Amino acid sequence: MTASRNELRDRARGSLLGLAAGDALGAPAENLTPAEIRRRWGRLTEIEGGGTDDTEYAIFAASLLVRHGHGLTAADVAAAYREEIIPRVTGPMRGAGFSELGTVEALRRGLRPPLTGLVHSHGWSDGLAMRAAPYGVFCPGDPAEAARLIEQDGLVSGSGEGILGGRAVAGAVAAAMGGAAPREVVAAALSVVPADSWTARNIVRARDVLGRVPGTGEAGLVEAGLVEALHEAVVVAHYPWTDVAPEAVALALAAFLAGDGDVEASVTFGVSLGRDADTIGAIAGAVAGASRGEGGVPERWAARITPVTGKCLPVVAGRHVLDVADELAEGL
């Protein structure tokens, strides 16, 4: 059954609102261990402050789709960086990830994609995955097209597993927008990346962990050792940075499955995993929000989401994710 325009708009709003809520909820837990998160909060359930670059870059990505639609190319994305991002970077890009910082420097040197995503050596970053939701929203029920489009974005700032992580998330959101069940959503993510990739292997490992550990709700899952089991399955413990796309994407999709697609359950479990907690929460929230719609996002969280400040990307200052979602939905 084909979704109505109103249903697609509702799912679009749910996805971007879920992304912003997950980003904001996970922000104070970024780079912390699960044990430290439990020590400080027990469970993180309430949004304390604003979001990060995850939300701002998702809004920027959505603006590219509104302007270029299915004709978006890597050259269009690079031009937008040069015209809208770089002229406003007069100091440090506060909160920006390695891949985006490297891309700005590469573009300043006159390089073009795909070299802009290759030369900075941070192509594995989850910077593309964190902003992937708009591509899935724009391609409801079509994971392959969502993955194709986000790869054009990824060629500017990433490479290899970084691009595959973005493809997986875009494919998952596209499937959720089409009404797929949670397991089908994860299958869609796997369908748009090579089976022998690090990204796919991690998603499968995380999914298999969920199959082995019985669930009794989010708190019960933590008590059952699922957090530790997931870390053992996919986390590169010896690596000092946490923005590793195959890791964050697998953990976020595991959180979505653990919550059975419920936004609050998925996001709160996702941020309890620590590591790149804001990105994990943002991805889990985006996928679950696309699945459950705007009404699936807790009202108390939605009330805390305000227009972004542009602290990382001044070009998006003052934009609200719900307005952006409506613009995307208009093009469906």
CATH number for position 70: 1.10.4080.10
User: pLDDT grade, residue 127 (50/70/90)?
Assistant: very high
Residue 214 is predicted with a pLDDT of: 56
Residue 145 is predicted with a pLDDT of: 98
Residue 101 is predicted with a pLDDT of: 79
Residue 239 is predicted with a pLDDT of: 81
* Domain of residue 68, residue span: 5-330
Tell me if 279 sits within 8 A of 243, measured CB to CB.
yes
Q: For the chain, give percent helix, strand, coil, nearest 5.
A: 65, 0, 30
Least confident of 48-62, 228-242, 309-323: 228-242
How confident is the model over 261-286, as a mean pLDDT? 97
- Closest residue by Cα to residue 173 from 131, 111, 214: 131
User: pLDDT grade, residue 2 (50/70/90)?
Assistant: low
Taking phi first (over 0 means left), then psi (-120 to 50 degrees means alpha), and beta for anything else, what does residue 143 get?
alpha
Residue 106 is predicted with a pLDDT of: 85
How confident is the model over 187-211, as a mean pLDDT? 97
Angle at 129 between CA 124 and CA 134, to 5 degrees: 150
Residue 93 is predicted with a pLDDT of: 61
Residue 129: pLDDT above 50?
A: yes
* Residue of higher predicted confidence among 11 and 332: 11
Residue 56 is predicted with a pLDDT of: 96
Residue 171: pLDDT above 90?
A: yes
Q: How far apart are CA 33 and CA 292, in angstroms?
A: 29
Residue 104: pLDDT above 90?
A: no
Number of independent structural domains in the chain = 1
Supply the DSSP symbol for 247: H
- Give the three-class secondary structure for 86: helix
User: pLDDT grade, residue 189 (50/70/90)?
Assistant: very high
User: pLDDT grade, residue 241 (50/70/90)?
Assistant: confident
Residue 168: pLDDT above 80?
A: yes
Q: How far apart are CA 208 and CA 185, in angstroms?
A: 15
Residue 94 is predicted with a pLDDT of: 62
User: pLDDT grade, residue 28 (50/70/90)?
Assistant: very high
Query: Average model confidence (pLDDT) for the chain?
Result: 92
* Residue of higher predicted confidence among 114 and 250: 250
Residue 1: pLDDT above 50?
A: no
Taking phi first (over 0 means left), then psi (-120 to 50 degrees means alpha), and beta for anything else, what does residue 261 get?
left
* Residue of higher predicted confidence among 63 and 108: 63
Q: pTM for the whole thing?
A: 0.95
Q: Provide, rounded to the nearest whole percent, the portion of the chain with pLDDT above 90.
A: 77
Q: Averaging pLDDT over each range in 43-52, 229-238, 277-286, which range is the top one? A: 277-286
Residue 278 is predicted with a pLDDT of: 96
Q: How far apart are CA 287 and CA 99, in angstroms?
A: 23
Question: What is the tens place of the pLDDT at every residue in 216-234?
Answer: 445 455 555 899 999 999 9
